[in-house]
Amino acid sequence: MALHRERTQAHGPLALEVSGLWAGYPGKPPALEDVSFVVPEGEMVGLVGPNGAGKSTLFKSILGIIRPLLGEVRVFGRPVSERRADVAYTPQVEEVDWEFPVSVRDVVLMGRWRGSRLFRRWSREDREAAEGALERVGLSDLSGRQVGELSGGQRRRVLIARSIARGARLFLLDEPFAGLDAAVEHDLLAILDALTNEGCSILMATHDISCVANACHGACCLNRRVQGYGPPAEVLTEDVLSRTFERALVPVGADREFIVAGGEGTPGRAEGS
């Protein structure tokens, strides 16, 4: 599924602006060095890089979990601390305990929690937001089902519905397509496409280079520093990707797929080292 990527040629209002960001953890070298890029409103940017490249640290910086050593992160033109309600994080499915006895509806309702108190009674507005989010991702019929009974694709849709119910305008997605077949990935991309068409913005961390090339408005290649940023056709080149993954990657076919030179990598996916 291809989106209309021409919007990346001239930035409009910005959902996310990362400027000269240095970030890391006490007693360790910086995980991010002088990182700068933007996510315009209504666009999806693919974040590509190996394991250990700093993608998780970048997400934590955007969420305000860790403070920058230098530089800044602005969300819709304001400091992160003033816009936390506008940002939602969707983790990798492996990070979630799917055996916990909770229903699909309850997981989506968790997106309405603002952290003001540990226990709260869900309001009518909360329930309507959750029901609307489930309808958006096509899971209304499964709202009462236990999350442990869902397929991999359905679990990802539940997590996205939780972010929609939150009322977020900037979505941070961590490997949303890992382990999915092409048909399920296509359906999930349709949901993300609809969100960007409505003005929401998405920063998506993924190893699936062909997905970024064919479905994202922009691409950001990261390995502690930004190795390349801009329209996918200009950024996802053999030179930039080889520098990003610190190994020689070569293109295969006509769909912007890459494999490790001399190896047997999976076309379109560059696994982290």
Which CATH number covers residue 256?
3.40.50.300
- State the pTM of this model: 0.87
Please report whether residue 5 resides in a domain: no
pLDDT at 254: 59
pLDDT at 2: 43
Please report whether residue 71 resides in a domain: yes
pLDDT at 265: 45
Tokens of residue 203, six digits: 């920063």
Strands 225-230 and 218-223: antiparallel
pLDDT at 257: 67
Please report whether residue 113 resides in a domain: yes
Please report whether residue 6 resides in a domain: no
The residues that bridge with 72 in the sheet, in sequence order, are 19
Q: Are 229 and 19 in contact (CB under 8 A)?
A: no
Q: Are 87 and 63 in contact (CB under 8 A)?
A: yes
Cα→Cα distances 137→45, 89, 140, 174, Å: 21, 17, 8, 18
Please report whether residue 265 resides in a domain: no
Please report whether residue 7 resides in a domain: no
Please report whether residue 98 resides in a domain: yes
pLDDT in tens, the chain (273 residues): 444 444 544 567 999 999 999 999 999 999 999 999 999 999 999 999 999 999 999 999 999 999 999 999 999 999 999 999 999 999 988 888 888 889 999 999 998 886 655 556 788 999 999 999 999 999 999 999 999 999 989 999 999 999 999 999 999 999 999 888 889 899 999 999 999 999 999 999 998 898 999 999 999 999 999 999 999 999 999 999 999 999 887 776 556 566 666 444 444 555 543
Number of domains in the chain: 1
Please report whether residue 55 resides in a domain: yes
Range of the domain at 224: 12-260
pLDDT at 250: 72
Tokens of residue 88, six digits: 């939602």
Kindly state the greatest CA–CA separation across the chain: 58
pLDDT at 255: 60
Angle at 158 between CA 3 and CA 172, to 5 degrees: 50
